[in-house]
Structure 1
């Protein structure tokens, strides 16, 4: 049976500080590291032999994967890092405290920026504190760093990468791990579970809790799905 394990990175420093993170390369907290190790332990307990892993080019996801693989005694598994799996870019909200932003702009406006499917936040200005257009990793990869993204724009980069690089391997029977971010994983859940634009904004993926999806052989259709840490599970979309 083919399985796909999706892991949102463990708690990051800016998760703890309630700040909009996006493409800023924030590291894990001690709690986040513990969540990463537990994710690996939970995956190890399944007895599943995974053949390869994918992650973003952001350290909180990369480190989560490292720690999980260490716990699984599978650090030798091949890992592909792809910027397309990065977190959503929060534009001009990047670095701001979420509660203070709601006080300044109003809770309803911030909810639109955070949760609407296709309305992005205001763009980040060139040369601003968290402008990554001159970051070496993106220059070396030839990436035109976005100034802002909605969930739809995030999906627009995640889906082609998934279909070209990951989906064929699932369809051929490989079991894979993807360690990424709340919004890039939300995009994958939208694809795999055929979730509507309205409903996907309500899907919340907990940090460091592997979502294990079993696939019908030779397809991308889930036959079952569950979070391995049941105590921290959130609601999943119905399997169609």
Structure 2
């Protein structure tokens, strides 16, 4: 009975997603979405990426490819009233989370694009991050292609009060898309698409990757290592500078994520210290000198409100019982009240 009431209650929550009764196939850029009408069986299509997670060498320096990725999935959660066009959303929430502590963070090693998982502490940080955002709506999640970011996103969503299931979208080939299709409208309503993108990866540290930071400082000198780590435009040997990381991360954000915010989607980005610093530089209009002193703690979410084309920084939600952050906008306050009412009925 409790389960039934939960499903019924969830169905009454407002949605800012696309819906239309004129047909069963809708196209959003490079993504096709199909949903149930009386004449059509539900299914949805996945995006096709026009780039791969790769790097190439130029003049002895390994750089991230600058070709834009189109691995953007705009799977829309179906509204209960498919005969009405949704009103244009005037605001959306954007949550940025740096992944929890990784095994190489713990060992004080340069990690960069090496794919290592979370520590036990990192798992706990991810869960605590989820508790902090448990009352904020989440329509889509973007992560890097690295497992520590994906683990953080998945663990955080286990704490969300809506209990929606994060599902990674696979677009490696046609078979991957076909085998991962979902044929239940109700299941899709209770799912959150997770888009992985290499452009959100950590800065590639080149020949420093896998080296102990203290030993590296002793070998090359503290000043030189500090220059590699904290300058804006000086890369480590055969690696990326923060400027190079920003070029790919911000370009991806502007092309693929910002349009989702403009449409009213509430977005979570789980990525890395340098890719998130790059995005924050864009959001807060920081200079190259200001961004190099920006520090981000692992597992601490940052909330922005996207409203009328502007990003308004709101800091970090303290926890699920903290009310102040939800008073910043009527939409977030109304969403939280819906959650409270729903769970009081169960």
Alignment-derived partner of residue 84 in structure 1: 199
CA RMSD of aligned residues (A): 1.2
Q: Distance in 1 between matches of 2:300 and 2:193?
A: 21
Q: Distance in 1 between matches of 2:137 and 2:235?
A: 39
Alignment-derived partner of residue 94 in structure 1: 209
Q: Superposed, which structure 2 residues align to 1:11-22 within 5 Å?
A: 11-22=101-112
Alignment-derived partner of residue 70 in structure 1: 158
Structure 2 residue runs of 5 or longer lacking an equivalent are: 1-90, 166-190, 320-346
1:222 and 2:311 correspond: yes
SS of residue paired to 1:78: strand
SS of residue paired to 2:233: coil
1:37 and 2:37 correspond: no
Q: Distance in 1 between matches of 2:313 and 2:215?
A: 40
How far the C-alpha of 1:175 sits from its partner, in A, is 1.1
Which structure shows the bigger proportion of residues in helix conformation?
A: 1
How far the C-alpha of 1:229 sits from its partner, in A, is 4.4
8 Å CA contact 1:209, 1:229 repeated in 2 = no
Q: Distance in 1 between matches of 2:218 and 2:318?
A: 34
Q: Distance in 2 between matches of 1:57 and 1:166?
A: 16
Alignment-derived partner of residue 286 in structure 2: 195
Q: Superposed, which structure 2 residues align to 1:163-202 within 5 Å?
A: 163-202=254-293
SS of residue paired to 1:212: strand
How far the C-alpha of 1:228 sits from its partner, in A, is 2.6
Q: Flag as ranges the 4+ runs of structure 1 deviating above 4 A.
A: none
TM-score (structure 1 length as normaliser):
0.82
How far the C-alpha of 1:216 sits from its partner, in A, is 2.0
Alignment-derived partner of residue 5 in structure 1: 95
Query: 1:111/1:229 Cα in 2 relative to 1: closer, same or farther (>3 Å)?
Result: farther
Query: Size of the alignment, in residue pairs?
Result: 202
TM-score (structure 2 length as normaliser):
0.57
Using CA pairs under 8 Å that are at least 6 residues apart, name the structure with larger relative contact order, 1 or 2. 1
Alignment-derived partner of residue 113 in structure 2: 23
Q: Distance in 2 between matches of 1:229 and 1:197?
A: 29
Structure 1 residue runs of 5 or longer lacking an equivalent are: 124-147, 231-240
Q: Distance in 2 between matches of 1:18 and 1:49?
A: 35
Q: Superposed, which structure 2 residues align to 1:43-192 within 5 Å?
A: 43-44=133-134, 47-72=135-160, 73-75=163-165, 76-123=191-238, 148-192=239-283
8 Å CA contact 1:192, 1:222 repeated in 2 = yes
How far the C-alpha of 1:214 sits from its partner, in A, is 1.5
8 Å CA contact 1:210, 1:229 repeated in 2 = no
Which has the larger Rg?
A: 2
How far the C-alpha of 1:160 sits from its partner, in A, is 1.5
